[in-house]
Amino acid sequence: MTPSPAALHAAVAEVLATLQTAFHSALHDTLTHLTAAATSTTSTTTTTPRHPLRRASPWSTPTLLDHLLTSPLQHTASLLYRHVLLPLRGPRPFRPPRHRAPIRVVCLSDTHGILPAHVPPGDVLVHCGDLSRDGSRDEIQRQVDWMRGLEGFAGGKVLVGGNHDAWLDPRVRGDGEGEVDFTGVEYLCDRMVQLRFEGGRRLNVYGWGTVPWCGEGFAYQYPREKHPWAGRIPDETDILVTHTPPAHHCDNGLGCAGLLEEVWRVKPKLHVFGHVHVGHGREAVYFDECQRAYETLMAKPGMGFWYDCMPSRRWLDGLNMLRYGIGSILWKWIMAGPGSNNGGLMVNAAVMYKDSGTLRNPVTVVDL
């Protein structure tokens, strides 16, 4: 009896999974041996051994070997999407209104108790949380006082808490008295504020610092599988301020899928966040079929090098990303013309460089 195509596919997948497990085991043994040898010859101190070719934690930048062992297809698709398809659609996902002065939004996050040496001038200042490192009231107050003292920013100064800002979350604050004085600064915790500017322009800013679970003792956490975002963000939101990134955008694989779906529903012009230091940067979003295909591919669990070599639904998602992306580029430049983009922007504004303890990432400026 001839086996069915589904049975053959399952058999091949099982063989590839077995080969991949054996490959990972052999690689693990080799790297462990190399690490032990390097540790014994270069240091006599007690350290935590780690593989020199693998990242230290999920919060670190993945190495090439990490990408190969997780999903080279997803890594290739991410490079094509972020460095080819999006740039070819133009340098700006939107343009400020004509005949009206743009509103300059200055964005930063994850200062962790350090006061930035320089903040560019602007109309609105946004801080996306993790003002402190130890979570104390005094450290948070010092950051708020610094924000209040910055000159300019006539439109307002806005902040949300982060998972390190334990004092702001009564559930993890512990014993202690006193409150943080937010005079002159809008502290947003699941609420919206409307900012008004000269010339009659207005911006609705919604903010909340809640994050997916990342460990005991941190603030504003929720179980990743039970996110609180569905229907939460007001429809009229222009600027969304969160601490956590949405999934698959400047998030190093640590963003929230529930938040991403809510962002698709609301489609804010600007979404600013932080939390994942190595994700610092900006990314245009158009909420179209190309973006959906990219996110669908990236949402699939990494199955490794050998599985990616086998034709699967992943290949179709990648091809759809390319097909829709090329179509959007041709439409933009042939039919719509320059300056026709009408998308949004996502910004990871973390100024802390990795986990170095220094503020080396630049402050981000966006004109709306």
**From CA 108, how far away is CA 365, in angstroms rounded?**
9
Residue 3 has pLDDT above 50, yes or no: no
**Element at 273 (helix H, strand E):** strand 270-273
* C-alpha to C-alpha distance for 277 and 137, rounded to whole angstroms: 23
For residue 8, the tally of other CB atoms under 10 A from its CB is 11
pLDDT in tens, 216-227: 999 999 999 999
Report the chain's mean pLDDT, rounded to a whole number: 88
10 Å CB burial of residue 159 (0-12, 13-18, 19+) is buried
SS3 230: coil
> Strand 124-127 to strand 104-108: parallel, antiparallel, or no bridges (unpaired)?
parallel
The one-letter amino acid at 163: N
pLDDT at 270 over 80: yes
pLDDT level of residue 15 (50, 70, 90 thresholds): very low
Residues 237/268, Cβ–Cβ less than 8 Å: yes
Model confidence at 125, pLDDT cuts 50, 70, 90, reads: very high
Confidence (pLDDT) at 34: 38
Average pLDDT, integer, range 361-367: 97
The predicted pLDDT at position 45 comes to 37
Q: What is the H or E stretch that residue 285 is in?
A: strand 281-285
pLDDT at 10: 52
Distance CA(219)–CA(277), nearest Å, equals 18
As a whole number of Å, the CA-based R_g of the chain is 23
Sequence-separated (6 or more) residues with CB below 8 Å from residue 355: 59, 60, 277
The average pLDDT across 152-165 equals 97
356 Cβ partners below 8 Å, 6+ apart? Answer: none
State how far the Cα of 285 lies from the Cα of 274, in Å rounded to an integer: 17
Tell me how far apart the alpha carbons of residues 349 and 43 are, in angstroms, rounded to a whole number.
Answer: 37
Separation of alpha carbons 140 and 242, rounded Å: 17
CB 329 within 8 A of CB 284: no
Q: Is the pLDDT of residue 19 over 60?
A: no
Percent of the chain residues topping a pLDDT of 70: 86
**N residues, the chain:** 368
| HSE (side-chain half, CA atoms, 13 Å) at 178 | 10
Q: What is the pLDDT of residues 186-230, one digit of tens each?
A: 999 999 999 999 888 999 999 999 999 999 999 999 999 999 999
What span, in angstroms and rounded, lies between the C-alpha atoms of 292 and 285?
Answer: 10
Averaged pLDDT, 77-103: 91
Q: For residue 285, what are the β-bridge partners?
A: 344
Segment among 112-121, 168-177, 203-212, 281-290 with least mean pLDDT:
168-177
pLDDT tier, 97 (very low <50, low <70, confident <90, very high otherwise): confident
Single out the residue of 285, 191, 194 nearest to residue 246, CA to CA: 285
Predicted pLDDT at 293: 97
pLDDT confidence bin for 14, thresholds 50/70/90: low
Nearest to 34 by CA among 48, 19, 52, 47: 52
Question: Do 105 and 122 contact (CB within 8 A), yes or no?
Answer: yes
User: Which DSSP string corresponds to 290-327?
Assistant: HHHHHHHHHHSPP--HHHHHS--HHHHHHHHHHHHHHH
Residue 262 has pLDDT above 80, yes or no: yes
What is the C-alpha separation between 119 and 111, in angstroms, rounded? 12
pTM as predicted: 0.86
- Report in angstroms the alpha-carbon separations of 188 from 18, 35, 84: 50, 47, 36
Structure tokens at 276: 């994942």
CA distance 103 to 274: 21
Residue 4 confidence class, pLDDT cut points 50, 70, 90 = low
CB atoms under 10 Å from CB of 222, counted, come to: 16
Lowest mean per-residue pLDDT among 5-19, 77-91, 221-235, 262-276? 5-19
pLDDT greater than 70 at residue 60: yes
pLDDT of 29: 44
